[in-house]
Structures are given as structure tokens and as C-alpha cells.
């Protein structure tokens, strides 16, 4: 595993990398398998983003399936 800015680098780089990296693959793979019709419930233009946060993201993501 190479050093990445998201998990730090050097002697104090994140010890959770081996867990944190496969986690989203497992989560989203399982979610897709269990709810194959999962999709946004609103148009992409209506999704509000939160640009001022340390971790960039959406304020809410209404979904339907």
C-alpha cells in the first residue's frame, strides 16, 4: 500500500488503511446487490453540496429503489 495524502504518510500514516480501503467496496457492493434499483430520487442539479466542510460532500441525497 503506497502512502496517500488521505491517510497520511511516514511513521504516523494511518494504521486503518488495510481496513478502510476495502470497506467501501464491501459496503457499496452489498448495497447494490440488496437494492439493485437504488438511484437518486431527485435530479442531479437539485442535489445540494456542502463545499465549506473539511470533507466535501452532499447535504442530503434522497434515494429511491
Identity of the residue, 28 or 65, whose beta carbon is nearer to ligand HEM in the bound complex: 28
Residue 54 Cβ vs ligand HEM, minimum distance, rounded to whole Å: 11
- Cβ-contact 65, 35 below 8 angstroms: yes
Residue whose Cβ sits closest to ligand HEM: 16
Phi-psi region of 8 (alpha: psi -120 to 50; beta: other; left: phi over 0): left
- Binding residues for ligand HEM, rule: CB under 6 A, are 6-8, 12-16, 19-20
3-state helix, strand, coil in the chain (%, to 5): 40, 10, 50
Identity of the residue, 9 or 47, whose beta carbon is nearer to ligand HEM in the bound complex: 9
Amino acid at each position: 500500500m503506497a502512502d496517500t495524502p488521505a491517510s497520511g504518510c511516514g511513521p504516523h500514516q494511518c494504521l486503518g488503511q488495510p481496513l478502510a480501503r476495502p470497506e467501501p467496496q464491501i459496503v457499496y457492493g452489498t448495497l447494490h446487490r440488496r437494492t439493485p434499483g437504488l438511484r437518486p430520487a431527485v435530479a442531479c442539479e437539485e442535489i445540494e453540496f456542502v463545499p465549506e466542510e473539511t470533507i466535501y460532500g452532499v447535504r442530503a441525497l434522497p434515494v429511491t429503489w
